[in-house]
């Protein structure tokens, strides 16, 4: 990619690009790729997204016609562009992943926002098989639906389950625009409601943690939701001697658990707390 002039305020921002033709499943995999790159924010469809929540911008899908939608996605409206740039001025040392249909589109978005040139470009073919891309294209053509990487999960106060589907919501006064929240469905075909018991999430967490080298025995997980409907996860683990330090193992468990829960359930993860409760020796 070409190197653009960078706004001095954004010189410390690390930029990635995730590109692929329209309807190939980029947005469905956006959170997973962003976790892999350790990107703090995703720019997609005119929005700035963090941990499945919209934090700035305006969706191109809210526009009345396709021309305005394209201009919105490209940040060609001055007030829209300025609001997003003002947001990034408050996070000068973050990392950002730009989603686009081509490298040329990614270049134009980055140039409009005066961000640094990308340090890495990932193509959809690197994270999806030809069969998965073909299915995504078929879904787009037959249903005309578009997924944005924002959680559409309504968690009951007692965390009895979640509901998936398409939903249009009117955001609170502090963000007075209409947005769309969607969820990446589990890897099976299903329409209607999906209920996930807390025990299922806890079992997933325990399994993922147990697969980390030097984690001994059966990790014990506890899951509860925040007022913002994100998950807090506590894990008790026992360790066995090895090459990694306690801190290194704990961080690896934390990263793998957060990534797996977000990917397989579509739920936002607020934090993962690791408690080392003991050591086991051969």
pTM of the predicted model as reported, rounded to 2 decimal places: 0.53
pLDDT (tens digit, 9 = 90+) per residue, 72-112? 889 988 899 999 999 999 888 899 999 998 999 999 999 99
**pLDDT per position as a tens digit, 259-278:** 888 777 767 788 999 999 98
- Range from 50-64, 147-161, 205-219, 227-241 that averages highest in pLDDT: 205-219
SS3 of the chain: CCCCCCCHHHCCCEEEEEECCCCCCHHHHHHHHHHHHCCCEEEECCEEEECCEEEEECCHHHCCCHHHHHHHHCCCCHHHHHHHHHHHHCCCCCEEEEEECCHHHHHHHHHHCCCCCCCEEEEHHHCCCHHHHHHHHHHHHHHCCCCCCCCCCCCCCCCCCCCCCCEEEECCCCCCCEEEECCCCCCCCCCCCCCCCHHHHHHHHHHHHHCCCCEEEEEEEEEEECCCCCEEEEEEEEECCCCCCHHHHHHHHHHHHHHHHHHHHCCCEEEEEEEEEEECCC
pLDDT at position 57 is: 87
**pLDDT tens readout for residues 204-214:** 899 999 999 99
Domains and CATH numbers, the chain: 8-129 (3.40.50), 198-279 (3.30.70.1350)
Percent of the chain with pLDDT over 90: 34
pLDDT band with cut points at 50, 70 and 90 for residue 6: confident
**pLDDT bracket for residue 229 (50, 70, 90):** low
């Amino acid at each position: 990619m070409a190197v653009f002039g960078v706004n001095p305020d954004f010189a410390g921002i690390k930029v990635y690009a995730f590109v692929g033709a329209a309807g190939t499943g980029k947005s469905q995999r956006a959170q997973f790729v962003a976790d892999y790159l350790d990107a703090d924010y995703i720019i997609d469809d005119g929005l700035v997204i963090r941990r499945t929540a919209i934090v700035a911008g305006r969706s191109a899908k809210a526009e009345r016609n396709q021309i305005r939608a394209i201009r919105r996605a490209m940040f060609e409206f001055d007030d829209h562009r300025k609001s997003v740039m003002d947001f990034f001025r408050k996070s000068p040392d973050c990392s950002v992943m730009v989603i686009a249909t081509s490298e040329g589109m990614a270049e134009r978005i980055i140039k409009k926002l005066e961000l640094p040139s990308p340090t890495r470009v990932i193509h959809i073919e690197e994270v999806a098989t030809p069969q998965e891309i073909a299915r995504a294209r078929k879904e787009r053509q037959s249903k005309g639906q578009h997924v944005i990487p924002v959680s559409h999960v309504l968690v009951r106060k007692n965390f009895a389950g979640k509901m998936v589907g398409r939903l249009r919501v009117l955001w609170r006064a502090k963000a007075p625009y209409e947005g769309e929240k969607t969820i990446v469905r589990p890897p099976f075909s299903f329409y209607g409601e999906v209920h996930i018991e807390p025990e299922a999430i806890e079992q997933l967490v325990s399994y993922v943690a147990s697969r980390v080298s030097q984690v001994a025995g059966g990790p014990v997980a506890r899951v509860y939701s925040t007022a913002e409907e994100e998950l807090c996860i506590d894990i008790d683990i026992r360790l066995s001697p090895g090459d990694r330090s306690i801190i290194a193992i704990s961080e690896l468990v934390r990263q793998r658990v957060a990534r797996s829960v977000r990917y397989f359930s579509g739920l936002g993860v607020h934090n993962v707390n690791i408690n080392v409760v003991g050591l086991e020796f051969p």
